[in-house]
Structure 1
Amino acid sequence: MFCKYFSFFSLCLFLPTQRRCSLGHVSSLHSSDTTSLPGFENLTMGYNKYLRPYFGGEPVQIAMSLDIASISSISESNMDYTATISLRQRWTDPRLVFHGNRSFTLDARLAELLWVPDTYIVESKRSFLHDVTVGNRLIRLFSNGTILYALRITTTVACNMDLSKYPMDTQTCRLQLESWGYDENDVTFTWLRGNDSVHGMEQLRLSQYTVERYYTLVSKSQQETGSYPRLILQFELRRNVLYFILETYVPSTLLVMLSWVSFWITLDSVPARTCIGVTTVLSMTTLMIGSRSSLSKTNCFIKAIDVYLGICFSFIFGALVEYAVAHYSSSQKCAAKVPQEGPANKITKEMEDVNITNILNNSITSYKQKISFTSIEISSDNVNCSDLTMKSHEKIKCVLRNKMHRIIGYFTIQNPGNVDHYSKLLFPLFFMLVNVFYWAYYLYF
């Protein structure tokens, strides 16, 4: 009999032209139904869905709770995340009080005939209500006028991310619920049971993140039109770095170690050492481009992974430059040994070919000048600038030349073979030291 009574009640609600019909008329037909649900006619008599409960009086207290079904599509490029939630709202409407201690689950389409809060999701880019097979909404009415209104929503919410420590970062995102039109004088928002009002966060399994912790907050939004109540669910997501260690950090480190192999190859093996240096540089460049492709829209950030790849590229390029310096010094030293014998023999032969007649025809002063200039040309490294026969501007040039040779001598590598010997020790040692500072800074600071 109650089913017939309830079907008639639903029919009355969905027929606005028949708002005058009441359950009192039903009681005359089915007196046994009205005895079990006295006062139920308040649902159809004198109810105005456009006015909030306690209109003109105290604000309506709305208690909320959340069930987090999933958090997916966390995008660093778009700075947002997508979540599927079940939003439950509870409030008391004294116009819907009826006798008894029972609760009834009503058809979800009755929400169009009842007053419901105008709650919206702050910073939501796009959202939709699930409607398969029917609209995923729930309305439960309690005898004291309390209404439970539940919705299943999928929403994409903005989340401001700091990617300076990517991929060793921890991101803090928010899900904020606020009243759109009613200020704090009309409605107040509270969490039903504090942090226990949120369910499902512990069971979440995300692809790249781990939920560190979450907590609820109660706040207000100050706007020009007033102060509006706001509820905040704040949660921290820590990125799983193991994938990036295997995908980027280990290959880049191995490339740096591969570039050190050239230190054990002799300087005369030009094709072998050049091939290793160029190959490692190109491989490192490809690895750097690949790591940035997934974050093409966030290249403005100097991320931790970019710093490490830059360090590795510097060490690989340094190993290539080291061979260029060592090979150049070795070739210069070999070239310096050849001219030491040639010019000296030529000068000696020229001195022997000078006949006595030419010596007697020349003056003593011209002969001394010729000998002085010859000594300058023979040994430019040890020029005697105190010769009285030299002019002032020639002495200045001589002094500057000696200074330049002395400065160049400080940077001249006497034994090019020692360059590889010291590089075998300094490159790995300095690379390990840089790694210690890098991981200590990004993991603990």
Structure 2
Amino acid sequence: MCVHLHTLMTLCLTFTQGGCMYSSNHWGELNDSQLQPTIQKLMKGYNRYLRPNFNGDPVEIGMSLDIASIDAISEINMDYTATIFLRQRWRDSRLVFPGNESVSVDGRLVSLLWIPDTFIPDSKRSFLHDVTVENRLIRIFSNGTVLYALRITATIACNMDLTKYPMDRQVCTLQLESWGYNLQDVVFYWTRGNDSVKGLDILRLAQYSVESYYTSVSRAVYETGQYPKLVLHFALRRNVLFFILETYVPSILLVVLSWVSFWISQSSVPARTCIGVTTVLTMTTLMMGARTSLPNANCFIKAIDVYLGICFTFIFGALVEYACAHFYTMQHQTVEDLHRELLRELNESNGNGSMPFISSRQSNHPVEIGSTAEEITEQSANSDTRNNAGSKEKASRQGCGLSSVKNASRRAAAVFTVENPHNIDRHSRTAFPAAFLFVNILYWCYYLFL
């Protein structure tokens, strides 16, 4: 049998040169019917432009894949680049020869045979490897079965849903269709179902891990007819650990850093202002850096955008908190200065026995300072009584509507009045961490489990 194979390979080489030269040792005592057919005999009357079973049943083409690598997955371009070994099998009755052996011929002889016009519809760019020769394989079996294998690298589109980025799960496909032969001419099928795809289980990707995959048989419907289609579906789960170290942890630390200002004295205006402004600017830079690896124009909000927005809100809220606390502190300090001034002048009046008049900042009426605090209180009470009586009389003349507006304004002002501004920082030390922890629980539960 080895002699037969050697004879066949010799005939293949001589056929390409246009001649047939065999020694008598190759023929021996065997007649022509006992020898395996040469390529010349197989090609006699063979028309590579006509499919097998022309004007008959469609050709059944079985396919299998080996995924050698997935080199890159781009969220910006919504595609992935993969190198695959594509194997196709079909039966051509014109290539039947006696025996039980198979013959592997040079891949350059593919131009002499009919081959399917399989293509990848979602491919953006693809090429056939040709180092050192074109990576093709042609193997012909004695029953006419042809195995055609080739190595392809293709950049294939993958529609991604980045709503839960970077905790997303993407399902990409690899589709195989016939370009010109419809379902009446060829039929595609997976040779071994899901086992027809090899290599995905052992792939190691930078940001993803292959979660699952399966195959399906479908049909492509176009204006020109219905065409066979095979689809490989594979799910990719993104590894979130990188993003936790790259984005989530720094943003959390920035939020915690903004809380340091709650323990700094409110009189230290430069220190607290510097912390607030620095954390806001740093958070803005982090948000811009997180978007560099993503599409610029998106019609959806991603999970990382939501989290960075939450952190930015808490950081900005800490800065606003100090502004409010400082405002109420200055207001409270003004009232205390007024009280100290009144007490000082009261003490002076008790020393010389005079009764001066001091204009109060909170009233338009002069207040007479006597020798005792009780008299001051009594005079103030009488003055308030007269003022209230005058206000009521004036309000009655202006109407009930204006009076109700003033009362509502007084009640609203009383709500926003802070007796002790230092309580703002004291409550913020508890309220901000508790609120941030609660929001984090809601965030991670929603994007991880829903």
**Scaled by the length of structure 2, what TM-score is found?**
0.85
Contact 2:70 2:80 in 1 (8 A): yes
Equivalences for 1:1-12 in 2 at 5 Å? Answer: 3=6, 6-12=9-15
Q: Give the corresponding residue for 2:27.
A: 31
Equivalences for 1:226-237 in 2 at 5 Å? Answer: 226-237=225-236
Equivalences for 1:96-115 in 2 at 5 Å? Answer: 96-115=95-114
Contact 1:63 1:191 in 2 (8 A): yes
Q: Give the corresponding residue for 1:297.
A: 296
Deviations 1:407-438 (A, max 9, x none): 21121112111111111111111111100000
Q: What amino acid is aligned across from residue 313 of structure 2 in structure 1? A: S
Q: Give the corresponding residue for 1:330.
A: 329
Equivalences for 1:179-328 in 2 at 5 Å? Answer: 179-328=178-327
Change (3 A) 1:234 1:388: closer
Question: Separation in 2 of the partners of 1:238 and 1:298?
Answer: 23
Q: What is the Cα deviation at residue 400 of structure 1?
A: 4.3
Q: Secondary structure at the match of 2:120?
A: strand
Question: Separation in 2 of the partners of 1:418 and 1:72?
Answer: 58
Question: Separation in 1 of the partners of 2:315 and 2:386?
Answer: 37
Q: What amino acid is aligned across from residue 253 of structure 2 in structure 1? A: L
Q: Secondary structure at the match of 1:112?
A: helix
Change (3 A) 1:435 1:380: farther
Question: Separation in 1 of the partners of 2:123 and 2:394?
Answer: 91
Q: What is the Cα deviation at residue 188 of structure 1?
A: 0.5
Q: What amino acid is aligned across from residue 190 of structure 1 in structure 2? A: Y
Q: Give the corresponding residue for 1:65.
A: 64
Contact 2:67 2:198 in 1 (8 A): yes
Contact 1:63 1:91 in 2 (8 A): yes
Contact 2:218 2:229 in 1 (8 A): yes
How many pairs align? 415
Q: What amino acid is aligned across from residue 58 of structure 2 in structure 1? A: P
Unmatched segments (≥5 aa) in structure 2: 343-357, 371-379
Q: Secondary structure at the match of 1:202?
A: helix
Unmatched segments (≥5 aa) in structure 1: 16-20, 352-374
Q: What is the Cα deviation at residue 401 of structure 1?
A: 3.9
- Greater shift, 309-318 or 290-299, is seen at 290-299
Q: What is the Cα deviation at residue 28 of structure 1?
A: 8.6
Question: Separation in 2 of the partners of 1:126 and 1:243?
Answer: 30
**Scaled by the length of structure 1, what TM-score is found?**
0.86
Contact 1:42 1:95 in 2 (8 A): no
Q: Give the corresponding residue for 1:347.
A: 366
1:436 aligns with 2:435: no
Q: Secondary structure at the match of 2:388?
A: coil
Contact 2:395 2:402 in 1 (8 A): no
- Greater shift, 111-120 or 264-273, is seen at 264-273
Q: Supply the RMSD in Å over aligned alpha carbons.
A: 2.9
Deviations 1:226-266 (A, max 9, x none): 11110111000000000000010001001111111111112
Contact 1:292 1:299 in 2 (8 A): no
Contact 1:166 1:303 in 2 (8 A): yes
Deviations 1:292-331 (A, max 9, x none): 1121435443110010000000001111111111110111
Q: Give the corresponding residue for 1:365.
A: none
Q: What amino acid is aligned across from residue 79 of structure 2 in structure 1? A: D
Q: What is the Cα deviation at residue 392 of structure 1?
A: 2.1
Change (3 A) 1:5 1:424: closer
Question: Separation in 1 of the partners of 2:325 and 2:57?
Answer: 86
Question: Separation in 2 of the partners of 1:389 and 1:121?
Answer: 87
Query: Equivalent of 2:431, from 419, 426, 430?
Result: 426
Change (3 A) 1:382 1:103: farther
